[in-house]
Structure 1
């Protein structure tokens, strides 16, 4: 089994419309590095925080084949687009207001047959 980890959106949780395919959400900021991002996505997979109407536990994080394919997809697909790009969300607002809501990046897992 081969999966792809596709960045679907970056927004406040209230604006995420959801997706039927398996997906995870991770909080991000302008200081998030690609390494931080990969680790956060894998942490969500490890915790079983996979959402989506088509994302039953038996077919996703409880299924060893899917789980390891998802980790491989994160490692392969969540990469800088070029040399010198370390911060994927560098264009996010830098407001540090403690009342402000966290911005999340949403990643969808698709099968590649």
Structure 2
């Protein structure tokens, strides 16, 4: 049963707020805590450990099934890209590239910004 427009908006806003908190964790020096990140990821059915083991395709499908819109998917890919700079999470770079590519093809709108993000990660 599809969600009504109001519930989808509320759900996307909740996801957006969680992603903003995640991004602030990776962009603020000394702001990183695995527990804080796991708490935010839990809201979208993920964890740091699951992020390490999930395939790029399964991650893309998970975010789609969770009702994540294209803008929030891009924020999540930004989070993955930034987190992949940490040697403990370097395998997330491939998942960020996959998610950016998925957004480019799925949204049916070409974004030079996303294309640049992909080229920077390769």
Normalised by the length of structure 2, the TM-score is 0.28
More helix by share: 2
- The higher relative CO (CA closer than 8 Å, separation ≥ 6) is in 1
